[in-house]
């Protein structure tokens, strides 16, 4: 099969295809591809023909090579920007993909669809008792594919070594504060010590580099950003601040309640100087900054004029105010076997039903391609130029989708 892709349009040339996806609520939905966005960038006008070969291409010319697999919707924390204090209904166990099913879909993604890396998310992936088995199955079949995990760190202390031996190569720990009282308020659980012990366990298991993901909330931990950075630099961790996205289960997100990338830089600059990094950013969602002592003079390019050495780096992911959707390379598999092309998509492609009805690998790959073709241009919208108050409302919370 031949294909061409650019930023304006994409076309696949192959055999016939019929695409019907399920909405997130479970209703069937037929799709008509929009012809043009408000900003004038054209999407593919005609539904392409897709056969059982080729990458996960969407109608805007992007190719997905990064697979996020949500292993469960359950979590042992109740972070206020992600989940309500109580009341969420968990998926029944029989509605979750098994270790064998996850390994098979991962194999299809790698061998048939060109996926180059996999990250396990949740909920909290460490609540899966078979997590080591899942990682081991995929690593044994594809030892060169990086396998990463995003976790809150609770329970990691006892499992880090087994995870590393199974084939886990990278780890991100969600940690918004190192103040015990603030942590308990943000997560509704007094578990900071367990998280810190988990990070220590990951370090002892050799899971470097360890990345720390942090969300700042106004009036809670936004004044603690320099303290968190100081702790991360001392420990050798790679800290990433992430703008809060409207993916909370309570749907209480507001623009006014979002600490923006510009505000994060301003808060950090109260105690540090942020300078340019030498390498190009590439397709990374994080804008990286070299961190220098306060008072360091920078030249016009953002480098220290007197050769002062960097203390380390910090990243800022401006997922709301400085969207990187045009370079998105992600495809998401939910814990109940649905493909989501975008966090904010209101449609899902059901692979579990197809998988459990006896479909072969080529049929599953075809359905996966079909679902990704309809990926929205930006944050669930067909136009990249929209006000951030107009975010598409996610049909599921982050804990149900997977980060």
179 assigned to a ligand binding site:
no
Tokens of 339: 């493909």
174 assigned to a ligand binding site:
yes
**Per-residue model confidence as pLDDT tens digits over 363-379:** 999 999 999 998 988 76
Confidence band, pLDDT 50/70/90 cuts, at residue 15: very low
Q: Which of 342, 360, 340, 358 is nearest to 350 (CA)?
A: 340
**Per-residue model confidence as pLDDT tens digits over 95-145:** 999 999 999 999 999 999 999 999 999 999 999 999 999 999 999 999 999
**C-alpha–C-alpha distance, residues 262 and 269, integer Å:** 11
211 assigned to a ligand binding site:
yes
265 assigned to a ligand binding site:
no
Contacts of 198 by beta carbon, 8 Å cutoff, 6+ apart: 151, 153, 154, 155, 156, 157, 160, 173
The structural domains of the chain, ordered by start, are 62-254+318-401 (3.20.20.70), 261-316 (no CATH)
328 assigned to a ligand binding site:
yes
pLDDT of residue 88: 79
pLDDT of residue 79: 92
Please state whether the predicted TM-score (pTM) of the whole model is above 0.95: no
331 assigned to a ligand binding site:
yes
pLDDT of residue 377: 83
Q: Which of 48, 49, 167, 52 is nearest to 108 (CA)?
A: 52
292 assigned to a ligand binding site:
no
230 assigned to a ligand binding site:
no
342 assigned to a ligand binding site:
yes
Cβ(73)–Cβ(400) below 8 Å = yes
82 assigned to a ligand binding site:
yes
Cβ(170)–Cβ(207) below 8 Å = yes
123 assigned to a ligand binding site:
yes
75 assigned to a ligand binding site:
yes
Contacts of 256 by beta carbon, 8 Å cutoff, 6+ apart: none
**Per-residue model confidence as pLDDT tens digits over 213-229:** 999 999 999 999 999 99
Average pLDDT of the segment spanning 37-42: 44
Q: What percent of the chain has pLDDT over 70?
A: 78
Virtual CA dihedral for 90, 91, 94, 95, nearest 10 degrees? -170
Average pLDDT of the segment spanning 224-238: 99
Given a cut of 80, whether residue 391 has pLDDT beyond it is: no
68 assigned to a ligand binding site:
yes
pLDDT of residue 21: 41
């Amino acid at each position: 099969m031949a294909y061409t892709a650019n930023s304006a349009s994409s076309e696949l040339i192959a055999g016939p295809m019929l695409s019907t996806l399920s909405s997130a609520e479970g209703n069937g939905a037929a799709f008509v591809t929009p012809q043009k966005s408000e900003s004038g960038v054209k999407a593919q006008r005609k539904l392409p023909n897709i056969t059982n070969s080729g990458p996960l291409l969407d109608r805007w010319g992007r190719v997905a090579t990064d697979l996020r697999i949500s292993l469960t919707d359950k979590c042992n924390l109740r972070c206020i920007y992600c989940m309500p204090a109580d009341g969420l209904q968990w998926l029944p166990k029989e509605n979750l993909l098994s270790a064998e099913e996850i390994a098979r879909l991962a194999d299809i993604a790698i061998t048939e669809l060109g996926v180059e890396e996999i990250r396990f998310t949740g909920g909290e992936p460490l609540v899966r008792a078979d997590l080591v088995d899942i990682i081991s199955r995929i690593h044994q079949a594809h030892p060169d594919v990086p396998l990463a995990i995003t976790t809150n760190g609770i329970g990691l202390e006892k499992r880090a070594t087994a995870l590393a031996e199974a084939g886990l190569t990278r780890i991100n720990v969600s940690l918004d504060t190192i103040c015990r009282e603030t942590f308990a308020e943000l997560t509704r659980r007094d578990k900071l010590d367990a998280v810190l012990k988990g990070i220590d366990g990951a370090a002892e298991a050799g899971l470097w580099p360890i990345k720390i993901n942090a969300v700042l909330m106004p009036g809670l931990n936004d004044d603690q950003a320099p303290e968190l950075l100081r702790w991360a630099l001392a420990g050798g961790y790679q800290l990433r601040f992430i703008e809060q996205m409207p993916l909370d289960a309570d749907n209480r997100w507001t623009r006014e309640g979002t600490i923006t990338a510009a505000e994060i830089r301003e808060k950090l600059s109260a105690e540090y100087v942020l300078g340019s990094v030498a390498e190009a950013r590439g397709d990374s969602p994080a804008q990286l900054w070299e961190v220098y002592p306060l008072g360091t003079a920078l030249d016009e390019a953002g480098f220290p004029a007197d050769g002062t050495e960097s203390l380390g780096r910090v990243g800022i992911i401006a997922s709301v105010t400085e969207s990187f959707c045009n370079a998105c390379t992600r495809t998401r598999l939910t814990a109940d076997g649905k493909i989501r092309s975008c966090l904010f998509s209101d449609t899902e492609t059901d692979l579990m039903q197809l998988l459990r009805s006896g479909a072969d690998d080529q049929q599953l790959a075809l359905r996966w391609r079909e679902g990704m073709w309809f990926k929205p241009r930006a944050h669930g919208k067909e136009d990249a130029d929209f006000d951030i108050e107009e975010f598409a409302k996610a049909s599921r919370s982050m804990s149900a989708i997977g980060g």
